[in-house]
Amino acid sequence: MSHSARTAGRSPVRAARRLAVVVPLVCALSALVSCTQGEGGEALTTPCGVVVDGSGSAAAVKEGFDSEAKLKDSLGEFLTDQKCGTVDFAPITRSSRSSSCRQSQVDLDPPHDATTDRKVQRVNAQRSAAVAALAELTCARKQNGSDVWGALARIGETVPDDGGAPKVLVVSDFDQADPEFHLSRQDLTSEAKRAKVIDTLVRKRGLPGIKGMDVFPVGLGMQYSAKPSRADDFESFWTEALEGRAKAHVDNRYKR
């Protein structure tokens, strides 16, 4: 079926409602990008990735951590700070690695000539990245689930490694929960017990290919904000998994 045939059958009311939800967030993201974008000049060469959490715990409810708000609050700052030249995307769903949610890579430093206003060009490119990030999140919400491990594996396979160490922003509470494994049911109270849980994940799923990457969590462990001891064990688990096993570097500067 052609694109025009599909769109012709859609309800105008449904389309209007969808725009009413999508447009405000895109505008907010675009405003943030415009405020944080630099003047242009040096080439942007860092390969970057953005992972977005569409699980139920990421909803804008009392028990959730509101992934939309965290995305708005961190995306523009991340892309600018890390001098991202390209950005790829991955969703967190019930089966992240095979999820049908896919957005194309966005070039944040497009080809130009002497007449190009590079500041405007880069602002427009970051706006495109914001729209793509939102689209990835919107799709992920329809698939639910929280396969963080699979999302890390997918972004590791997607982000190129030919422009220095890749930088990855992960907007998630990191509560691994998929049909086969629930991190909340595991005993993480000691380093030895955490190591056994990591062993189980590695044995069944392998290690995410993120060696040498800088991983920037946003929302990590927020579900345990009222339980400091559990929060410490939970964060230690992910640090030990990502740095100790996957050989990535965890940087909490965007943690909200």
pLDDT, averaged per 10 consecutive residues of the chain (256 residues), comes to 43 46 50 47 92 78 75 94 97 96 96 84 96 96 92 97 91 91 95 97 95 96 81 95 98 89
Asked if 47 and 86 touch (Cβ cutoff 8 Å), the reply is yes
Question: What pLDDT, on the 0 to 100 scale, is given for residue 60?
Answer: 58
Q: Is 142 helix (H, G, I), strand (E, B) or coil?
A: helix
Question: What pLDDT, on the 0 to 100 scale, is given for residue 62?
Answer: 61
Question: What pLDDT, on the 0 to 100 scale, is given for residue 111?
Answer: 86
Question: What pLDDT, on the 0 to 100 scale, is given for residue 229?
Answer: 83
Q: Which residue has the tokens 């922003």?
A: 169
Question: What pLDDT, on the 0 to 100 scale, is given for residue 116?
Answer: 76
What residues contact residue 158 under an 8 Å CB cut-off, 6+ apart?
49, 88, 89, 90, 105
**What's the gap between Cα 175 and its chain centre?**
14
Asked if 215 and 170 touch (Cβ cutoff 8 Å), the reply is yes
Based on its alpha-carbon atoms, the radius of gyration of the chain, rounded to whole angstroms, reads 19
The Cα–Cα gap between 234 and 240 comes to: 10
| 64: its two tokens | 């959730």
Looking at the DSSP bridge assignments, the partners of residue 52 are 91, 171
Provide the residue count of the chain.
Answer: 256
What residues contact residue 237 under an 8 Å CB cut-off, 6+ apart?
183, 188, 194, 197, 198
Asked if 64 and 183 touch (Cβ cutoff 8 Å), the reply is no
What residues contact residue 244 under an 8 Å CB cut-off, 6+ apart?
198
Asked if 39 and 119 touch (Cβ cutoff 8 Å), the reply is yes
Q: Output the pTM of the full model.
A: 0.83
Question: What pLDDT, on the 0 to 100 scale, is given for residue 2?
Answer: 43
